Amino acid sequence: MAKIKTAIQFGLVYIPVTLHSCTKNTDIGFNLLYKKTGQRIRYKKTCENCPAKISQDDIVKGYEYERGKYVILTSQEFEKLKTKKDENIEIFQFSRLEEIDPIFYEDSYYVEPVGAKNAYFLLSKALESEKKVGIAKTVLGHTESLIALRVIEGLLVMSKLHFADEVQENPVEKSKSTVKKEELELAKKLIENMTKKFDINDYKNEYKERVQKAIENKIAGQEIQTPKSAKTKTIANIMDALRQSIKNEENDDENEYENKIVKMKKRA
């Protein structure tokens, strides 16, 4: 993704910055092929009365206000709609991080200062000390974005937020059934036994690794094998299922502890 040059503004403080996307696409890329010949499927931009070839410069955005009738807005007209403050990330309030439900978060960007570095680090330190996030708005491309500016490891990170009308209401009805005390206690114990500090490095995309291995096998002329996995059994009675789950978890913890002791002895 291209870098985005903008500026953070709060009060009369102005900080020129560059935004860098926090994430990257690591998906395995596949092309669509015609299965009879193995040739690439191509997509052509076309319309009923279009010339054979259409360049990107010939394409504009149109809003259909009646069936088959469009009003066209050019890139220059979109730019005319922006005010000076739309070009910057203007903070208009500060809030506590826990007040923002994670459901509202969208894309995130690392914020690099390209000027006014003292002001950048002053803002970072103040937000970190107060445990607050800056709530701002800006226009990225042709859409206005709601923004949360927060601090991670002493540096600013900008996260786009969904507006309230972009988040759908939960269609799931709240249950009116009662929970038995014994079941709740066992469920809480299972949660406690399975609780540990979250570390993103503990997790990897295992399915993607299997797909990559399958590609390598097919290139080598080998058949794809279904990976073996432990059979899982279900227990209809919830109390029995909870008790067995707790027992399994405790056994796993014991095995993990024993493996650590073996590794330590080998190192010694």
User: Residues 121, 239: one domain?
Assistant: no
Residue 107 within any structural domain of the chain: yes
User: Residues 113, 185: one domain?
Assistant: no
pLDDT given for residue 46 in this prediction: 81
Return the amino acid letter for 165.
D
Tens digits of per-residue pLDDT, 161-204? 999 999 999 999 888 888 888 989 999 998 898 888 989 899 89
Q: Where in 114-266 does DSSP place strands (E)?
A: 132-140, 143-152, 155-161
User: Residues 142, 189: one domain?
Assistant: no
Tens digits of per-residue pLDDT, 68-119? 899 998 888 888 887 777 778 999 999 999 999 999 999 999 999 998 999 9
Residue 149 within any structural domain of the chain: yes
pLDDT given for residue 2 in this prediction: 65
E strand or H helix that includes residue 120: helix 117-130
User: Residues 17, 144: one domain?
Assistant: yes
Residue 86 within any structural domain of the chain: yes
User: Residues 243, 139: one domain?
Assistant: no
User: Residues 150, 183: one domain?
Assistant: no
Provide the domain count of the chain.
2
Residue 224 within any structural domain of the chain: no
Query: What angle (nearest 5°) sits at the alpha carbon of residue 188, between those of residues 184 and 191?
Result: 140
User: Residues 183, 161: one domain?
Assistant: no
Residue 158 within any structural domain of the chain: yes
User: Residues 115, 186: one domain?
Assistant: no
Query: What angle (nearest 5°) sits at the alpha carbon of residue 44, between those of residues 41 and 46?
Result: 150
In Å, what is the CA distance from 42 to each residue of 23, 54, 128, 206, 232?
28, 14, 50, 31, 44
Q: Closest Cα partner for 138 from 172, 189, 90?
A: 90
Strands 105-113 and 13-21: antiparallel
Report pTM.
Answer: 0.76
The model's confidence at residue 265, banded by pLDDT at 50, 70 and 90, is low
- The number of beta carbons lying within 10 Å of the beta carbon of residue 164 is 8
Residue 214 within any structural domain of the chain: no
> What is the residue whose two structure tokens read 């290139």?
219
Tens digits of per-residue pLDDT, 2-31? 688 999 998 889 999 999 999 998 999 999
CATH of residue 113: 2.40.290.10
SS3 137: strand
Segments forming the whole domain that contains residue 15: 4-26+80-166
Residue 252 within any structural domain of the chain: yes
Residue 218 within any structural domain of the chain: no
